[in-house]
Structure 1
Amino acid sequence: MESSNKPFHLDDHWMSTFMTWSWRAFIIFLIIRNFKTVPLAWHIRVLRGYRHLLRSNRAKNLSPEQLFQPLIVSSGNSIGELDYNLHKSNSTYFADLDIARCHLMCFLFSQGVDYARNARRRVGILGVSEDLIGLALGAVSCTFRKEVKPFQSYEMWTRILTWDDKWIYTVTHFVRKDTVRPRGFTFLRPQEQHLIPRQGKLSDLARKEDAIFASALSKCVWKKGRRTVPPEIMLQVSGLLPPRPGQEEYITSLRNEPLGRLTFSKQAEEYYDIPFKIIDRMEAIWAMLRSHLTFETEAAGEEEGRRGRNWKHRDLPNHHPRQPRREEWTWEKVEQERQRGMEIAKSLAEMDRLHGEFTADTDALTFRRDWW
């Protein structure tokens, strides 16, 4: 009796298995490459910025010299951020700005936030309420210069521009990756030292704007409950702003004020930091692999020679080259830089008048519904 079953072909089985695993690999690749836009990814990225508030990740010995220094966050253009022109959509810049501001403000104001949370004498500058301290965004404006192509990497250079009686203004530049580099890194943890070897292909700093994709200006305010905490106070208790002439003793008393019982235990901080330490380790391994697989052109080597062969060792913890003596950042010097930045920030401050342009005393064109 002959069997009705078709003969089994090994090639067909192998091809079917190959196609199945190929699709799985492709889907996994899409998820990893498009992680920025998957649900809750934005929240995870923000929580990573909050790490700077933890005692184990807090910047030590901040001084006025670091007040206007930029903090660099690397990122890239994912599939979910593309518009119909296959460029990074303009709307997605603002989600990246949230992450860049979070890293900067948590890094610079960690000591001030700790003071606002745990100061025993809650009178005067911070009030008597037990409300939590928080940062609120008041406005943001972004100017676009060049398009970001699919999968193209970039860096966000964010720093404090200026401040007034209520608002802190920050500026963020979206810069093409590996085109420019800072003179050095003031704070660099051992697990982040893979950031030191940077290409810096753009040697002519006069043409630095060629590396800029977009620039954004934001204004933020520190709030303790509904009470506004003046930026000058937050800067002073964070060790970033020198005291005004004649207020040296007062500022010293603020910084030396005893703190109450911490609301977040050290053990809880360690548990919070575990997944991000794993991510840091994975990124360090990936950066090391990329550095070995990346082919450096002769032009890049010549540029490296012009800038100095030993620049990679300039910021290592165990290397202490002779540094030129830097000018002390006094209150007068900081105020001069603040006033200079305020000339730019005035444009964003004036945008508050835009609310007055709204009116319902007019005819509307029509009415439409958007999905969801």
Structure 2
Amino acid sequence: MASGARLPLRSIAFTAALTLSITASRMSIRKVLLNSFTGPGSTSRIIATLFVLANLKNVPFAWHAIFNAILRHCLFSKPNIPSTIAPSTIFLPVITTSHSPFMECDYNLHKSNSTYFSDLDVTRSHLVCALLEPGIEALKNNTRTKLVLDKEGKPIPGRWSIMLGGVMSTFKREIGMYQGYEMWSRVLCWDRKWIYVITHFVKKGTVRPRAYILTDGSWFKRGYKEVHGKGGVEVDEKAIFASAISKYVIKLGRLTIHPEVSLAASGLLPARPGGWATMTGPSGESTPEILDVEKDETIESQNTDKWDWKRIDAQNQKGLKFVDHFAALDGLHDEFSGSQTPALGKYRDFLW
């Protein structure tokens, strides 16, 4: 994800499609199947094939399914959320479905704790690309859009990237072998540097949102539409398997980009007295972390469904109360004793 969204996606998609087409035209699929699954040794090949099919999620390079998210949202089906509802979508979740095959399970035949983190890579990629694609595009073309300027007022050159700074997961219930589950990922909040994403691992089919905002678009630019589903049911606590929090930093070259710059460039922030943080000034620096805006009750929105700046800010402040504890974990690096104390021993990971 750190560099995937800045790849020449159209060229990659075209080349891959052309290669597959040429390969398919030069080989007889029927002949390949007959040679593989008949004759001497066919039983072993069939068993091996079934094993691979049952564990496709864990074959070599399967992790690179994150490019599915990048290609979908940054190339084939770019988000085009109407500006009238865009601020209300900033904290909405992206739902990614998955399952736990045999190769992901530990000796208890439950999903191994370590495999949650590769799942998080995929679902976070869907969220970031679906939500921030316009901002990503603006930063990738900063020399043209002039979103971030240097001290002389010139566009800052550099390659856009988004880096994972940390992940913390808490486990509540086990996920069984081949059990289906969903990952509900959304923006929790942001501060001056980090965008924090929260993900819930939920039993598949037990929870439905009140509505979906689905893409029906692709290159035909038809955009997003709202599709109402069945929802409003209280969440069963037993349906939540685990929860995780991750933090992302957005970079342009080596310059850290204030999260509000990307959010605003994606059309997700409503108007705010004094403005949101920007990086278009002559210094290339962002505005103060907290704008001193006097809270005037007369500007309180009369419509509780409207996502104005006060509601956005209140939701963000609510999330920051959780991430204060997460951010404190950065101090763990100072607990490394190194050569100051003895060690119990040194071992290999697999062999003696």
1:236 match: 264
Superposed CA deviations along residues 315-367 of structure 1, whole A, max 9, x for unmatched, are xxxxxxxxxx8722111110000001111111211111111111221111122
Q: Check conservation: 1:71, 1:157, Cα contact below 8 A.
A: yes
Unaligned runs of 5+ in 2: 1-36, 219-226, 282-302
**1:1-372 aligned within 5 A:** 21-43=42-64, 45-61=65-81, 63-120=86-143, 125=148, 127=150, 128-189=155-216, 205=234, 207-247=235-275, 327-360=305-338, 361-371=340-350
Report deviation, 1:188: 3.7
Q: Check conservation: 2:181, 2:201, Cα contact below 8 A.
A: yes
Query: One-letter code of the match for 2:334?
Result: G
Report deviation, 1:370: 2.0
Give the count of matched residue pairs: 278
Superposed CA deviations along residues 202-260 of structure 1, whole A, max 9, x for unmatched, are x961x522101110011111011111000011110111112321439x98x99xxxxxx
Q: 1:198 to 1:204 in 2, by over 3 A?
A: closer
Q: 1:236 to 1:190 in 2, by over 3 A?
A: closer
Q: Check conservation: 2:66, 2:121, Cα contact below 8 A.
A: yes
Q: 1:157 to 1:183 in 2, by over 3 A?
A: same
Query: One-letter code of the match for 1:226?
Result: R
Superposed CA deviations along residues 37-93 of structure 1, whole A, max 9, x for unmatched, are 1111101x1100102443441110251110000000000001110101110000000
Report deviation, 1:118: 1.3
Q: 1:98 to 1:160 in 2, by over 3 A?
A: same
- Name the CA distance, whole Å, in 2 between partners of 1:141 and 1:184: 29
Unaligned runs of 5+ in 1: 1-15, 255-324
Q: 1:170 to 1:145 in 2, by over 3 A?
A: same
- Name the CA distance, whole Å, in 2 between partners of 1:122 and 1:227: 17
Query: One-letter code of the match for 2:161?
Result: G
2:19 match: none
- Name the CA distance, whole Å, in 1 between partners of 2:100 and 2:228: 22
- Name the CA distance, whole Å, in 2 between partners of 1:36 and 1:198: 29
The 3-state SS of whatever aligns with 1:352 is helix
Report deviation, 1:27: 2.3
Coordinate RMSD, CA, aligned? 3.0
Output the TM-score relative to the length of structure 1: 0.68
- Name the CA distance, whole Å, in 1 between partners of 2:107 and 2:89: 41
Q: Check conservation: 1:76, 1:154, Cα contact below 8 A.
A: yes
Task: Work out the percentage of aligned pairs sharing the same amino acid.
Answer: 39
Larger Rg: 1
- Name the CA distance, whole Å, in 1 between partners of 2:313 and 2:54: 44
Report deviation, 1:154: 0.5
- Name the CA distance, whole Å, in 2 between partners of 1:371 and 1:25: 29
Query: One-letter code of the match for 1:29?
Result: L
Report deviation, 1:28: 2.0
Q: Check conservation: 1:64, 1:241, Cα contact below 8 A.
A: yes
Output the TM-score relative to the length of structure 2: 0.72
- Name the CA distance, whole Å, in 1 between partners of 2:180 and 2:229: 13
Report deviation, 1:149: 0.7
The 3-state SS of whatever aligns with 1:353 is helix
